[in-house]
């Protein structure tokens, strides 16, 4: 409730309006600049990933289709979520209760889709390393596309069910006008924690533990056997698969680091309260993960660096550029 004599978000509704935050200080302006730079970098880098995988035919592999889906969810973070959070740092919410609820529904859908993509990437690497002979038949582009679509559909359905109270009654958690808050009760928080954190993370960790155990045993077997020309080809394939597994393993470790603080309230048995008008450290750390993923690709994937050069020099506009040898 606003007090008389203080600046409020809606002066004409003094008794029900929230207080207007104080004007930004120098430090806050620097935060605006920093967060705006992160949002721009997130959008640009993930757009480059999407263009690369979509344009070059040699990159149309099942694994890269999963990376494409992950880049799409990360792009939405940079284009939709981060700008809203930047605009409403220490500011009133003037877009109304319906858009406030829609913002959070989209936020949660993107988060769930990112988690689903991480699980699919782990399964892909598990089959590639642990069952390489059957990988081409088990993991096809069509199956990868179906799994990606199912992951997004499940994310939309799950989040709408979980937030149905807020969808039916937008603004139910707001205490005054000019506020955009969603409070998820303990039960819903536990369900969210189990299905979008504990279960996926358990699956990811178990699969990657198995991947590295198998990789070590394969490395020992290759060192103890002397073969001819076929052996050299096999070793090359194994190195490529292991490099991909290592890179995607780093992506998943970074994901865990960024999202653990985000789920701390549910882990501590508290209600989860999220306010669009404050740049909470946990929310920004989780969203910063969307900026880190393409940076990891740039460091570890030569095809991504080569694609960036071709895109930035506009060589992708030349006829037949989609058939360029990237891998």
Q: Which of 72-76, 117-121, 148-152, 187-191 has the lowest mean pLDDT?
A: 187-191
What would the mean pLDDT of 103-132 be, rounded to a whole number? 88
Q: Would 6 be classed as within a structural domain?
A: no
Q: Would 87 be classed as within a structural domain?
A: yes
With H, G, I as helix, E, B as strand and everything else as coil, classify residue 321: helix
Q: In the predicted model, is pLDDT for residue 319 greater than 80?
A: yes
Is residue 229 packed enough to be buried (19+ CB in 10 Å), middle (13-18) or exposed (0-12)? exposed
Q: In the predicted model, is pLDDT for residue 279 greater than 60?
A: no
Q: Nearest 5 degrees, angle CA 196-CA 197-CA 202?
A: 120
> What tens digit of pLDDT does each residue of 289-312 get?
889 888 888 778 888 889 999 999
Q: Would 19 be classed as within a structural domain?
A: yes
> How far is Cα 18 from Cα 92, in angstroms, rounded to an integer?
8
pLDDT score, position 42: 94
Q: Would 68 be classed as within a structural domain?
A: yes
Q: In the predicted model, is pLDDT for residue 192 greater than 50?
A: yes
For residue 261, the domain's CATH number is 1.20.1070.10
Q: Are 39 and 33 in contact (CB under 8 A)?
A: no
Q: Nearest 5 degrees, angle CA 112-CA 113-CA 118?
A: 100
pLDDT score, position 123: 92
Please give the residue that has the higher pLDDT: either 181 or 278: 181
How far from chain centre, in Å, is Cα 98? 24
Record the tokens describing residue 37, joined without a space: 């730079």
pTM of the model: 0.82
- For tokens 């002397």, name the residue: 226
| DSSP states along 244-261 | HHHHHHHHHHHHHHHHTG
Closest CA to 155 of 63, 69, 244, 243: 69
> What tens digit of pLDDT does each residue of 3-49 get?
444 577 777 776 777 777 665 565 677 888 888 999 999 999 999 99
pLDDT score, position 30: 81
Per-chain mean pLDDT for the chain: 80
Looking at the structure of the chain, the number of domains it has is: 1
Q: In the predicted model, is pLDDT for residue 263 greater than 80?
A: no
Residue span of the structural domain in which 314 resides: 11-323
pLDDT score, position 78: 93
Give 116's Cβ-side CA count (13 Å radius). Answer: 23
With H, G, I as helix, E, B as strand and everything else as coil, classify residue 95: coil
Residue 181: strand pairing partners: 275
Please give the residue that has the higher pLDDT: either 295 or 281: 295
> How far is Cα 193 from Cα 189, in angstroms, rounded to an integer?
6
Q: In the predicted model, is pLDDT for residue 113 greater than 50?
A: yes
pLDDT score, position 115: 87
% of the chain beyond a pLDDT of 90: 25
Q: Would 109 be classed as within a structural domain?
A: yes
pLDDT score, position 5: 45
> How far is Cα 178 from Cα 14, in angstroms, rounded to an integer?
11
Record the tokens describing residue 50, joined without a space: 């999407």
Residues near 11 by Cβ (< 8 Å), separated by ≥ 6?
A: 17
Q: Would 258 be classed as within a structural domain?
A: yes
> How far is Cα 82 from Cα 67, in angstroms, rounded to an integer?
21
Q: Would 4 be classed as within a structural domain?
A: no
Q: Would 190 be classed as within a structural domain?
A: yes
């Amino acid at each position: 409730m606003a007090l008389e004599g203080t600046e409020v978000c809606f002066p004409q509704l003094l008794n029900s309006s929230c207080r207007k935050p104080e004007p930004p200080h120098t430090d806050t302006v620097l935060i605006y600049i920093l967060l705006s730079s992160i949002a721009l970098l997130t959008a640009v880098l993930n757009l480059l990933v999407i263009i690369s995988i979509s344009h070059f035919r040699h990159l149309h592999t099942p694994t890269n289709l999963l990376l494409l889906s992950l880049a799409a969810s990360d792009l939405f973070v940079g284009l939709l979520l981060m700008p809203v959070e930047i605009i409403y740092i220490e500011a009133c919410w003037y877009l109304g209760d319906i858009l406030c609820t829609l913002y959070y529904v989209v936020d949660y859908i993107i988060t769930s889709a990112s988690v689903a993509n991480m699980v699919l990437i782990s399964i892909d690497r598990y089959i590639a390393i642990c069952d390489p002979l059957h990988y081409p038949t088990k993991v096809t582009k069509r199956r990868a596309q179906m799994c990606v679509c199912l992951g997004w559909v499940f994310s939309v359905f799950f989040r709408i069910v979980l937030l149905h109270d807020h969808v039916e009654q937008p603004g139910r958690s707001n205490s005054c006008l000019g506020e955009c808050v969603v409070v998820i009760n303990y039960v819903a928080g536990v369900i969210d924690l189990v299905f979008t954190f504990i279960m996926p993370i358990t699956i990811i960790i178990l699969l990657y533990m198995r991947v590295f155990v198998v990789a070590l045993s394969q490395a020992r077997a290759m060192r103890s056997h002397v073969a001819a020309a076929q052996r050299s080809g096999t070793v090359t394939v194994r190195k490529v698969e292991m490099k991909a597994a290592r890179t995607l393993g780093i992506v998943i470790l970074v994901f865990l680091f960024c999202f653990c603080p985000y789920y701390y309230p549910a882990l501590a048995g508290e209600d989860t309260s999220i306010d669009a008008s404050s740049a909470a450290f946990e929310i920004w750390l989780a969203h910063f993960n969307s900026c880190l993923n393409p940076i990891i690709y740039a460091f570890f994937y030569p095809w991504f660096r080569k694609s960036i050069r071709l895109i930035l020099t506009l060589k992708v506009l030349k006829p037949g550029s989609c058939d360029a040898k990237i891998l």
